Amino acid sequence: MTGPLCVGVIGTGWCGGIRAVASARSPLVGELHLADIRQERLAEVAELAGPAKSTEDWTELVANPAIDAIMVSATPETLHYPMAKAALEAGKHVLLEKPIALTLAEADELIALAESQRLKFTIGYSQRFNSKQAMIKRAIDDGTLGTVTSILLSRHITRSLGAKISARTPLSPAAMEATHDLDFAFWCLGDRRPVRVYSQNAWGVRRETLGSPDTQYLVVTMDDGVVVTVGAGMSLPPGYPNQSTTWIEVLGTDGAILADASHRDIVLNTVADGVRFPLSTMPGEYVDHVYAGPMERETTHFLEAVAYDRPVMVDPRLARVTMEVYLAADESAARGEAVAIRA
Ligand SMILES: NC(=O)c1ccc[n+]([C@@H]2O[C@H](COP(=O)([O-])OP(=O)(O)OC[C@H]3O[C@@H](n4cnc5c(N)ncnc54)[C@H](O)[C@@H]3O)[C@@H](O)[C@H]2O)c1
């Protein structure tokens, strides 16, 4: 490591706020720079993270030669590609929230830009940093389960969060939500690659308001016949559970591992709001001196990769594979038939 890192966060909303505070709390970071167009939110995060500078103009961060690494957490998702591209072109290491881009050509361009300059470039697939997912990965890697035959992940988020996501860009539940679980499954399956996907949408309360399905289901066939099934729902009522709920099943020839990530292990019940399941957000959250969830560790992992020149956990080339699958899933849902993945 050459010295304390100078880090920038572009878009200090929900996730960017967490990235900023995690960076501020890391001993690896000497200086923090923040950018957001929402002055109020920028001030709120600045209060928590104490940056050297806050600005409404993200291009200032990219142009600042002192900044080593930039985290791109802005929405709408149309901003991901131009912001990451500008940061990589300026020679910054980049952590980019999913989705990597809107088209495969854009993703290819970003990957090539990073590789040609030997820059760290990674995508925010935070779910890999949950202890349950880490345990599943280890049980696969050390042979405990034998040969994996199937992986199933069912995830639902609340209607209000689903509306926030679907109102800003017309990206499908596969692109915005199942993407986390596809990434996790493909990471678990190592060299095996997806060859075909069948997807079906379930339409409900979100059709009229958002033009988007309530839930999207995907069945992915891997090149050795392993079946990956992912469900991504966005219409849960509030409270049950509060933000997100996930169920995971991995079956192998020598065993099975089943994980309940439904966040029903802590219940807050008030006269005003009834039953709520706290600590159930996907990125997690600070609870005073501790962090509950994956995003803080994911952020420090990226900072460590930059500081000590270590590999990043999420290879953007796998993020590109994941993108191919959710794009093919959307095509499948529209056509009503299985779609081959063009590897
Ligand atoms: N890993 C996870 O668990 C997880 C969870 C939620 C969201 N995400 C991803 O993270 C990204 C951010 O999601 P969020 O919920 O934090 O969004 P958000 O809407 O809360 O925050 C985005 C921020 O970007 C800012 N912004 C918009 N235009 C800007 C510009 N030109 N310059 C600087 N800032 C600008 C907005 O003002 C806003 O504060 C999304 O793309 C989403 O896909 C990941």
**In the chain, domain spans:** 5-119, 129-299+321-340
Residue 51 burial (CB < 10 Å; 0-12/13-18/19+)?
A: buried
- If residue 332 lies in a helix (H) or strand (E), which one and from where to where? helix 316-335
Judge whether 13 and 41 are in contact, CB under 8 Å: yes
Q: Facing residues of 124 across strands?
A: 97
CATH number for the domain formed by residue range(s) 129-299+321-340: 3.30.360.10
**Cα–Cα separations (whole angstroms), residue 307 to 20, 92, 155, 290, 310:** 17, 13, 34, 23, 8
Q: Which atom of ligand 1 is nearest to the CA of 294?
A: 3
- Residue 3: the pLDDT is 81
- Residue 259: the pLDDT is 98
Q: Which atom of ligand 1 is nearest to the CA of 16?
A: 16
Across the 343 residues of the chain, what is the mean pLDDT of every consecutive 10-residue run?
90 98 98 98 98 98 98 98 98 98 98 98 98 98 98 97 95 97 98 98 96 98 98 91 93 98 94 92 96 98 98 98 98 98 78
The angle, 0 to 180 degrees and rounded to 10, between the axes of the packed helices 131-141 and 179-188 is 30
Any alpha helices (H) in 131-242, and if so which ranges?
A: 131-141, 159-168, 173, 179-188, 206-210
Report the C-alpha gap between 334 and 161 in whole angstroms.
24
Tokens of 57: 């103009």
Tell whether ligand 1 has an atom less than 6 A from the beta carbon of residue 10.
yes
Smallest CA separation from ligand 1 atom 38, residue: 13
| pTM, two decimal places | 0.97
- Residue 239: the pLDDT is 79
Q: Which atom of ligand 1 is nearest to the CA of 38?
A: 37
Report the C-alpha gap between 2 and 114 in whole angstroms.
20
Which residue of 18, 36, 70, 263 sits with most ligand 1 atoms within 8 Å of its CB, as the best mutation to test the pocket? Answer: 36
Tell whether ligand 1 has an atom less than 6 A from the beta carbon of residue 166.
no
Tell whether ligand 1 has an atom less than 6 A from the beta carbon of residue 82.
no
3-state SS class at 34: strand
- Residue 1: the pLDDT is 62
Assigned fold of 5-119: Rossmann fold (3.40.50)
Distance 138 CA to ligand 1 centre (A): 31
Question: Tell me, what DSSP letter sits at residue 339?
Answer: E
- Residue 54: the pLDDT is 98
- If residue 158 lies in a helix (H) or strand (E), which one and from where to where? strand 148-158
**Cα–Cα separations (whole angstroms), residue 292 to 20, 128, 271:** 16, 14, 25
Report the C-alpha gap between 22 and 13 in whole angstroms.
14
* Count of beta carbons in the 10 Å neighbourhood of residue 319: 26
Report the C-alpha gap between 310 and 224 in whole angstroms.
31
- Residue 310: the pLDDT is 98
Judge whether 120 and 305 are in contact, CB under 8 Å: yes
Tell whether ligand 1 has an atom less than 6 A from the beta carbon of residue 220.
no
Q: Is the dihedral of CA 279, 281, 284, 287 positive or negative?
A: negative
Smallest CA separation from ligand 1 atom 25, residue: 11
